[in-house]
Structure 1
Amino acid sequence: MTAPPRKSGLKVRVKTARGRTVGQARWLQRQLNDPYVQAAKSEGWRSRAAYKLIELDEKYKLLKPGMRVVDLGAAPGGWTQVAVKRVKAGDAAGGFVLGVDINPVDPIVGATLMQQDFLAEDADHKVIEALGGKADLVLSDMAAPATGHRQTDHIRIMMLCEAALDFALRVLNPGGAFVAKVLRGGTENELLNTMKRDFRTVRHVKPPASRADSAESYVIATGFRG
């Protein structure tokens, strides 16, 4: 089991120099002192978010060799990298991983990547065509650009989660699983109740790699009834 990265005893301080605002300096300081950011760089993951999926997988056993996986909101590719490694995509008897994002994603060995706005008309049909069959796991780390208005941000990310769930219900094999990012705000409980009709087990979790001051968490639905 992967141990969480340890914090360094030394803390980097960033000044508001060279045209940086106080907010920009604060963000940069947090990045420089984040053990997950440091570990991602040293271990070759494209983002600290890779550890969120690693932690979820190690606790709930979501990824297995040979599985077919769709990663929605894949950029910059951290989750796709983890999925490729754990389902052994690209190997002769390995799995298949399709990463989808509105932004381009640099090539990842073993993965099929698709630049597509998932909310665009007919986008779901295009993704299904690229998938070329059913899936065992649908991942969604999709997030809309933050507006700074908490209720608006909550509504927008829940809309993305609902779109991902609707897609998952159409492409998952019986027994399949769905993982998606949500924000605290109340309506996520309604979404959980909806998922309980179609999945045997539904959980609402916050992996250690999610920052403590972040409102994000993840819903994990397993045992798709089909």
Structure 2
Amino acid sequence: MTEKKKSASGPIGRTLKVRVKTAKKRSLSSTLWLERQLNDPYVHAAKREGYRSRAAYKLSELDDKFHFLKPGARVVDLGAAPGGWCQIAVERVKSLHGRGERQGRVIGVDILDMEPMPGATIMKLDFLSDGADEKVKEVLGGEADVVLSDMAAHATGHRQTDHLKIMALCEAAAQFATEVLSENGTFCAKVLRGGTENDLLNFLKQHFHTVRHVKPKASRADSAEMYVLAQGFRSRSEESA
């Protein structure tokens, strides 16, 4: 992807309302999903500005406010497909056009296939499989400054089950973050409405100076998703003292 002189969190224009007729081979839920996509200004903006998904705007909003994707930073993006977050990370840490100490690094990990991306190392990997975290660490070859997780399991429609599944992903990502982050590093992960479980929240507070829940404007208002953002990772020597 070529470098763009723009901000992914800029104003999103309105589009004309599109109505989708129910087709014989399309369920009502599929019709409603398609209608929502066609009328989503972030979907239109992503296509117009060359981002792989509307999720790019979620990360850009978070970084605009909390400033963790700095030039030269090393980023691990878990659940990266199709690559919207990786694109934002590549732009902001300058992993493609940076020079010397200012050139960052981005590693995208997902169980799904993902198109190659200039400025990013892509790994097809089930992060919950045995030894997966060690494979990512090997490719990383040192510490990370930011660990991102937009991982999500397939929704069952059962609220409690879906919550437990996404929390398991968040817990795995949080554990990995505490093993690879450099001092003052950042961890950001998707959770569901209701926030982070107490055990995980306490775990994060033990390892980070600041922990908060945030919901970017680009996250649909009717969606239960939100993000836990933990900043100021305490150094491992500080924790063991």
Specify if TM > 0.5. Answer: yes
Secondary structure of the 2:231 match is strand
After superposing on structure 2, the runs of 4+ consecutive aligned residues of structure 1 that deviate more than 6 Å are none
Aligned to 1:50: 56
How far is 1:88 from its partner?
A: 0.3
Q: Determine the C-alpha separation between the residues in 2 that align with 1:177 and 1:186.
A: 18
Q: Determine the C-alpha separation between the residues in 1 that align with 2:54 and 2:133.
A: 28
Secondary structure of the 2:168 match is helix
Secondary structure of the 1:98 match is strand
**Amino acid of the residue matched to residue 97 of structure 1?**
V
2:149 touches 2:190 (CA, 8 Å); kept in 1? Answer: yes
Q: Determine the C-alpha separation between the residues in 2 that align with 1:66 and 1:24.
A: 42
Alignment of 1:1-226 (within 5 A): 2-8=9-15, 10-17=16-23, 19-90=25-96, 91-93=98-100, 94-185=103-194, 187-226=196-235
1:36 touches 1:48 (CA, 8 Å); kept in 2? Answer: yes
2:114 touches 2:124 (CA, 8 Å); kept in 1? Answer: yes
1:154 touches 1:185 (CA, 8 Å); kept in 2? Answer: no
TM-score, normalised to structure 2's length?
Answer: 0.90
Which structure 2 segments of 5+ residues have no match? 1-6, 236-241
How far is 1:142 from its partner?
A: 0.2
2:73 touches 2:146 (CA, 8 Å); kept in 1? Answer: yes
Aligned to 2:239: none
RMSD: 1.2
How far is 1:39 from its partner?
A: 0.2
Render the CA deviation track for 1:125-168: whole Å, top value 9, x for unaligned: 00100111110000000000101111000000000000000000
Q: Determine the C-alpha separation between the residues in 2 that align with 1:196 and 1:32.
A: 40
How far is 1:188 from its partner?
A: 3.0
Number of corresponding residues: 225
Q: Determine the C-alpha separation between the residues in 2 that align with 1:84 and 1:64.
A: 10
Q: What percentage of aligned pairs have identical amino acids?
A: 66
How far is 1:185 from its partner?
A: 4.0
**Amino acid of the residue matched to residue 16 of structure 1?**
T
The more displaced of 129-138 and 17-26 is: 17-26
